[in-house]
Amino acid sequence: MVPKISDFGLARIFGEDEAISETKRVAGTYGYMSPEYVIQGIYSAKSDVFSFGVIVLEVISNQRNRGSSNSKSINHLVELAWSLWNKGKALELVDESISNSFSIAEVLKCIKVGLLCIQERPNDRL
């Protein structure tokens, strides 16, 4: 098995010389789309940075960034990660199955990278 991460759906929308674009039709997977794309239809490389941050947090936690069927939020994991980080309990985000196989300093750096990528404002993203 060779795992790969790919989704070029939005990349195809960009013109060759475009860095930022706007659309009236939102296409993508909820939970991975940046707030500015979902709300305003504006996407850029910073939208991809947001999606990457979500994936980093998913790998660490072994959870999907989707709200439960009775949840109003589509960004459950994002909200959980921020909440735990702000309470100084970021390690509670880590999946138990890998909890003995990493350096605490390294996993905290990975969580921080994920959080830097999912900043609300695009210019604040890593």
pLDDT tens-place string over residues 78-118: 999 999 999 999 999 999 988 788 899 999 999 999 999 99
pLDDT tens-place string over residues 1-59: 555 565 545 555 555 666 565 666 666 777 888 888 888 888 888 988 999 999 999 99
Which domains can be identified in the chain, with CATH numbers? 20-124 (1.10.510.10)
Instruction: Please tell me the distance from the alpha carbon of residue 67 to that of residue 72, in angstroms, as a whole number.
Output: 7
- Can you list the alpha helix ranges (DSSP code H) found in the chain? 35-40, 45-61, 76-86, 104-117
